[in-house]
Amino acid sequence: MSRDSTNSEMNDDVIGRLAVRVRAARNALGLPRRALSERSGVSPRYLAQLEAGEGNISVLLLSRVAAALDVPIEDLVRADAPMDPDVARVAQLYQSAATHVQGRVRALLAPENPSALRAQRICLVGLRGAGKSTLGALAADKLKIPFIELNDLIEARAGMPTGEVIALYGQDGYRTMEAQCLNDVISEHDKLILAVSGGIVGDPTSYDQVLERFHTVWVRTSPAEHMARVRAQGDLRPMEGNPEAMDQLKTLLVTRGPEYERALAQVVTTSRPVQSSVNDLLAVIAKHRFLASIGTE
């Protein structure tokens, strides 16, 4: 192919893109061609040729058309896709706005600060028997902030123990109430320690909300201590008529472990006195500044 032919094709491409983009910009404004002519000082006949891909417009005249369409001239001729007219308009408004207005726009459009979303809410996650309730209550008392167990709110909402809630409404019904109570906690408290059931990781929506709206701590221990503590609470169900209970518990720890590991911090309570574990939790809260006021971080 000769250089003249190549140049001719390139010229046709530029003129074709220009025709499409001028037409699109004018239509986006709902502007008749005659009105565009009046705005730009370019004749309707010339504009018709331009939009038909037949006009060989000068740079000076094209700059008038671009100004009349309120779009940068480079958007009309560049090889890649031009900026959306609405986006271009917003960009122009931003550039002409006062400094303090630009700052408010940036703050509004910036991704939400994760720490601001979590406020000073702390959530303890992990399997039953790890020590969430005991550590949560003692740490909250030391810090002079509320401690709430999500299951208590579910029982209060349903007017029955959680076991009966599941028996009556099924797992889906229980998860629905759990999600509702979680939303209540978030809307009513900016500072607290919350303990949630170990199975909340089975509801991705609720668990993602926990991770987003709380500073999370995985309270964990060994399978043997999990089982011993549950039995010490007077619940023999995990062992009764189920010689494979320990194997099932270990499997549960393996399957849920990756979800619990998404927490921001961990406290291991294996072979630790209660007060030592409370001190470990308080140290984690202080280290990660979970209760730091937003704006001081």
- pLDDT, tens only, 259-290: 999 999 999 999 999 999 999 999 999 999 99
By the 8 A CB rule, do 219 and 132 touch?
Answer: yes
Q: What is the pLDDT of residue 225?
A: 85
Tell me whether the CATH fold assigned to 3-109 matches the one assigned to 115-287. Answer: no
pLDDT tens by residue, 153-178: 999 999 999 889 889 989 889 999 99
pTM of whole model > 0.75?
no
CA-to-CA separations, 297 to 114, 118, 281, 293, in angstroms, rounded: 12, 13, 20, 7
Q: Which fold has domain 115-287?
A: Rossmann fold (3.40.50)
Q: Which two tokens stand for residue 282?
A: 């308080």
Q: Residue 78 — pLDDT band, cuts 50, 70, 90?
A: low
Smallest CA-to-CA distance from 151 within 210, 194, 186 is with: 194
User: Which tens digit of pLDDT belongs to each residue from 114-138?
Assistant: 778 899 999 999 998 889 999 999 9
pLDDT of residue 240: 43
Residue-wise pLDDT for 185-213, tens only, equals 999 999 999 999 999 998 988 999 999 99
The DSSP annotation for 48-99 comes to: HHHHTT-----HHHHHHHHHHHTS-HHHHH-SSPPPPHHHHHHHHHHHHS-H
Asked whether the predicted pLDDT for residue 297 surpasses 50, the reply is no
Listed by start position, the domains of the chain span 3-109, 115-287
Average pLDDT, the chain: 81
- Give pLDDT tens digits for 10-51: 455 667 777 777 788 787 777 788 888 888 888 888 888 878
pLDDT at 152 over 70: yes
pLDDT of residue 72: 75
**CA–CA separation, 254 vs 57, rounded Å?**
70
- Assigned token pair, 212: 């987003």
Binning pLDDT at 50, 70 and 90, where does residue 84 land?
Answer: low
Q: How confident is the model at residue 4 (pLDDT cuts 50, 70, 90)?
A: very low
Question: What's the length of the chain?
Answer: 297
User: Please, are residues 150 and 196 in contact by the beta-carbon 8 Å criterion?
Assistant: yes
Superfamily name with CATH number, domain 3-109? lambda repressor-like DNA-binding domains (1.10.260.40)
Residue 262 is inside which H or E element, if any? none
